Amino acid sequence: MRLLFMGFGVGVAVGAGGCYLYLSATKQPQAARVARGIAFDEEQHHALKFGAPETEIVRQYEGYIAAYDYRTRNPKWVLEHITRSSSSGDAKRDGTEFFPDPGVDPHFSAKLSDFRGSGYDRGHMAPAADHKSSQKAMNETFSLINISPQVGAGFNRDYWARFERYVKELTYAAADVYVITGPLWLPTQSQSQSQDEPHKGGSTGGKWTLVHDWIGKPPGLVAVPTHYYKVVVADPRGGGEPGNPAVAASSESESQLAKGAVAVGAFVMPNQPIDARNPLSAYVVPLEDLEQVAGTRFFPDLLEDPRRRAALDTAAAGWRQEGLMQLKPFERLSVKQALAALPAPTSGVTIETVDTKISNAAVQETVSAPATSSSSLLSSSRALPPPPPPPKTPPGTGVLHVCDVNACRMPRPDFYLPSGSSNNNNKPRQ
């Protein structure tokens, strides 16, 4: 009898333990404040008696994870993992609708009405076209937690859309592509301050001023970013299918990818129309500088090694220089001004100073130049660039710059059109 009761007791204990583990594994996750990926216990500090202040929320969807900033009513960052299969499924954009995220307190959420009549597009951070593996995954990209106000013509519907396509095509060179996308608010620097009147930072340059639009109705206004960024990691170690002509790489970079080197690149673009002829490499930025202005550490598990960061910044300097040199002088000045808070990196290479003394004739050329349509850009575009140059990332660190893979060559402005078509009146968004 004793053995019987003992057996019964053990069975109850095992069953209760199993039930506890099952419930623990299936219950909905509780809200947590996270610092460098580690949630802290609110009972550990006496100051947390009534809870820690909430300034953002992190939400997880099928295709992406997003951190939402209560103050700006914008996503702070959106992290997605894309593959060839996830971006080439049968899901359709037709019939999908934008919706307020149910996990965001309505007091801090952007609203659909904020965008109506604002003059700005509802711009995806994680593009819908990256998540075609299921209709649910695509539909979820229309949550407002993934949306930020973007300039439409010339940016969201044009250059930024081509950039999204460029990132998507990296899945032909590497099995897995990880992307962090987000908004930025970068200041501009005035040049009126005299040398003997330094501002508080001790610099003799002009004052830094941040000016940007807001949309919606107070007090719940939505901040319009001045810039947007992407940090891209192309990881070939999952057995991708390299060799697609759209991402043709140099033999040296192909060799590094084949050996398991991970390609990384950081890019920042102003939230404004960008000339379709501008090379993508002109918008390459050093990772360290981007992290400082974004207030975010990107891919820390991959990029914690300072040697990797130094190697990537060296490559970024080379690619940025090459991109700037493909621009006309007044275009170089425009890009330099747009990214003034993110100066070109100088570690390991010498960056030629971009001449800011533009002649009156060059400025006049810019002012008097007529608006150029995408179709005319196609007919008058510059000659195709030469074969990809050798990689600019110093070897031996296990990483290379993403531009080393395909010289950061963007898709043509008409990439969205069927082969042989010339009608560009109805541009589908990514």
Phi, psi (deg, nearest 5) at residue 183: -90, 160
Pairing of the two strands 214-215 and 222-223: antiparallel
In the DSSP assignment, the letter for residue 82 is E
Beta bridge partners of 75: 68
Can you say whether the dihedral through the CA atoms of 51, 55, 59, 64 is positive or negative?
A: negative
Contact 277, 206 (CB under 8 A): no
Query: Residue 177 is which amino acid?
Result: V
For residue 124, indicate whether it is catalytic.
yes
> Quick one: which of 84, 185, 74 has its CA closest to 124?
74
- Both tokens of 85, joined, read 């299969």
SS3 call for 355: coil
SS3 call for 315: helix
Q: Is 295 exposed, middle or buried (0-12, 13-18, 19+ CB in 10 A)?
A: exposed
Q: Which of 124, 131, 227, 401 is catalytic?
A: 124
User: CA torsion, points 207, 199, 330, 358, in degrees to nearest 10?
Assistant: 120
Residues carrying an active site annotation? 124
